[in-house]
Each structure stands twice: as C-alpha cells, then as structure tokens.
Amino acid sequence: MISITDLRCGILDIPRLTIPQGITAVTGDNGAGKTTLLRVAAGMNLPESGTITIDDAPPRECEAGYVAEFPDRHLIFSVVRDEIASPLRFAHREPAEIDEDVAEATDRFGITHLLNRECRTLSGGEKMLVGVATALAAHPVLLVLDEPDSHLDPETADELFQKIRDSGCSHVLWSTHSHRIWENTDQKIVLAHGKVENP
C-alpha cells in the first residue's frame, strides 16, 4: 500500500491518501499536479513536508521504475539491449541474471527483434515499449507511467495495459487522460489544483 500523510510538494497538498496495490489511474487537467505526484512517488522529488511510503518504506528505499511521456528524453544508451540491461547492471546483477531478465522483459513486450537496434532509429511507440521494458526489467515494486498512452493508438495502448497488468508489479501509477485506460484500472485518483478530488 502507498500511504501519503500531509504531503506538500509544489502545487500538491494532500492531507491523507492511501493507494492499494494494483493499477491506479492518476488523472486531472494539465497543471493539476499529476507529474509532481508521480515524481514524488518514484523518489525523484522529495516532499517539502509530510510523508509518502510504499509498503512502509520511503520511495528512495524502494525499487521503482519511471517512464516519462517522451521516453527518448531519458534513454541513456544507444542500443536497445544495453538500455534494457542498464538498471540491472547498475544494481550489479550477475551477467547470466541480466541476460535472463532482459530476455523476459523483451519477450513480454514483443520487442526481442529490437534488441540490436539503435534507440534513435525507433518509432515513438517502440521507444515507449523499450522504456517500459527497461523499467520492469529490474522487477520494481512500483512502476510509474506518465501518460504512456498519449502517443499510442488505442489498440497498442490496450495491449500495453494488459502486459503491465500481467507483469505482476505490485503498484502501478498510470497518469492518463484516456477514458479507455482509467475505466479499466483498479482505482483512480483525480487531481485538481494539487488536491485530490475523490476520496
């Protein structure tokens, strides 16, 4: 469970919020605080005050994967294989384990054929799939997705949703404006001017 108490960060002002395990849609108008909430949950931003915990641990002590709306801005390596392996290498995993996890991640998202491609040659949809595969390769407890469906056609977005559902990740925060997506999530958070509109 994700627990938030008296959280303030930028526009965010959330006195209390608990988010059960599963896929949670985060929605609201532009400027409502969605990305700030995602970044705080992933440990990328620290709260100005208050606390947030994921299964009783602060975000920076948890394994979290983060995928931005434009994942190519965060791709570190030039070749897909190296990009997907990067969180595992940074964690000093054994080479055989890295190879196994990379194969599992690429197979899950149907991108094994992209392993030797240069990231700059990928389409926007392919970059998103590589970004999500990279985020999930390390088996995070939290997967944070900032509007991953905004540049995908509805069929591809639905397939991505199902593959993330099947990944077994305990907590998924998915920022979206798509009714198709949030109608199928386990719970929803609606933000307005930094505050949660729904209980």
Residue with the bigger pLDDT between 69 and 141: it is 141
Q: Dihedrals φ, ψ of 121, to 5°?
A: -90, -5
pLDDT classification of 141: cutoffs 50, 70, 90: very high
Strands (E), the chain: 2-9, 12-19, 22-28, 49-54, 64-67, 142-146, 171-175, 187-192, 195-196
Domains and CATH numbers, the chain: 1-62+142-199 (3.40.50.300), 75-140 (no CATH)
Under a CB-based contact definition with an 8 Å cutoff, are residues 147 and 176 in contact?
yes
Q: What is the pLDDT of residue 149?
A: 86
Q: Render pLDDT for 122-135 as a digit per residue (tens, 0 to 9).
A: 988 889 899 999 99
Q: What is the pLDDT of residue 91?
A: 86
**Confidence check: pLDDT of 148 > 80:** yes
Q: Render pLDDT for 38-62 as a digit per residue (tens, 0 to 9).
A: 999 999 999 999 999 999 999 999 9
Instruction: Read off the pLDDT of each residue in 139-157 and give the average, rounded to a whole number.
Output: 89
Instruction: Read off the pLDDT of each residue in 105-124 and give the average, rounded to a whole number.
Output: 92
Task: Please name the residue that has the structure tokens 């627990």.
Answer: 3
Structure tokens at 41: 């949950």
